[in-house]
Amino acid sequence: MCSCTSRHEPLGGDSLYYSLQGHDLAHGRWFIEPFRFRLDHVTEPSAYHPPLFSLYLGVVSRLGADSFLAHRIAACVVGAAAVGAIGFLGRRLAGDRVGLLAAGIAALYPYLWIKDAVVLSESLLALVTALMLLAAYSFWRTPSPWHAAALGAGIALLALTRAEGVLLRAPCICRSRSRRRDSSGAPASAGSG
């Protein structure tokens, strides 16, 4: 899952931001601007990136794996989980063969695994998207309050991973609503259960 990069190669830009903010979170500095803290020793609040990936790296750092290499490995773990979730989604939608094919394509897709080694949030986005789509499919198959809550949680996690991820909510909600119709064939109202 990891690409060939030197373990001593420094991170930069967004990669460094995520890694440093994860380090800061593990040490009790909640969502501060990591570059400003290092350069000017100023603890200024920051919402430059959505928080979920930084939180994940913060947990990894808190568990003792507090280095750039450890964050790369942690990103690779998320990438491997994303491949499994994509394969499981394919299996749920179309059977075992499609699941294996989907997992194989995801494992070989460079855009997915190259982001692991440079510590970017795309692997987490792929994982959360696959899990949200599984929740959407479950809600579409058998609407229930639990499936609706899982779908809502998936949409929320998407928004906390990447801001543009929330755009997936509209097609999921519209598709879920089109499935629910009353006995006359008219669309169900928003408040119907």
pLDDT digits (tens, 9 = 90+) for 82-117: 999 999 999 999 999 999 999 999 999 888 878 777
Better-predicted residue by pLDDT, 63 or 3: 63
- What is the distance of C-alpha 8 from the center of its chain? 26
Cβ contact 172:138 at 8 Å: no
Q: What angle do CA 120, 122, 123 make, to 5 degrees?
A: 95
Determine the Cα–Cα distance for residues 34 and 82; give it in Å rounded to an integer: 28
Better-predicted residue by pLDDT, 123 or 174: 123
| Number of C-beta neighbours around residue 42 at 10 A | 10
- Residue range 156-170: average pLDDT? 77
Phi, psi of 32 (to 5 degrees): -100, 165
43-52 contacts, C-beta under 8 A, 24 or more apart: 46/21, 48/17, 49/14, 49/17, 49/18, 49/21, 49/121, 50/121, 50/159, 50/160, 50/161, 50/162, 50/163, 51/160, 52/121, 52/124, 52/128, 52/157, 52/160, 52/161
84: which 2 tokens? Answer: 């499994």
Domain range list for the chain:
13-179
- Residue range 62-75: average pLDDT? 86
**In Å, what is the CA distance from 17 to each residue of 95, 118, 123, 155, 160?**
40, 11, 16, 24, 16
Question: For the segment 109-120, what is each residue's pLDDT rounded down to a tens digit?
Answer: 888 878 777 778
- pLDDT computed for residue 66 by the predictor: 78
pLDDT at 10 over 70: no
**120-151: b or e for each residue (b if 16 or more CB lie within 10 Å)?**
bbbbbbbbbbbbbbbbbbbbbeebeeebeebb
Most confident range, picked from 109-113, 125-129, 159-163: 125-129
- pLDDT computed for residue 1 by the predictor: 39
Cβ contact 46:31 at 8 Å: yes
Residue 78 confidence class, pLDDT cut points 50, 70, 90: very high
pLDDT, the chain, mean: 79
Cβ contact 134:19 at 8 Å: no
- pLDDT computed for residue 180 by the predictor: 52
- pLDDT computed for residue 101 by the predictor: 95
- Residue range 135-139: average pLDDT? 90
- pLDDT computed for residue 88 by the predictor: 95
pTM given for the model:
0.77
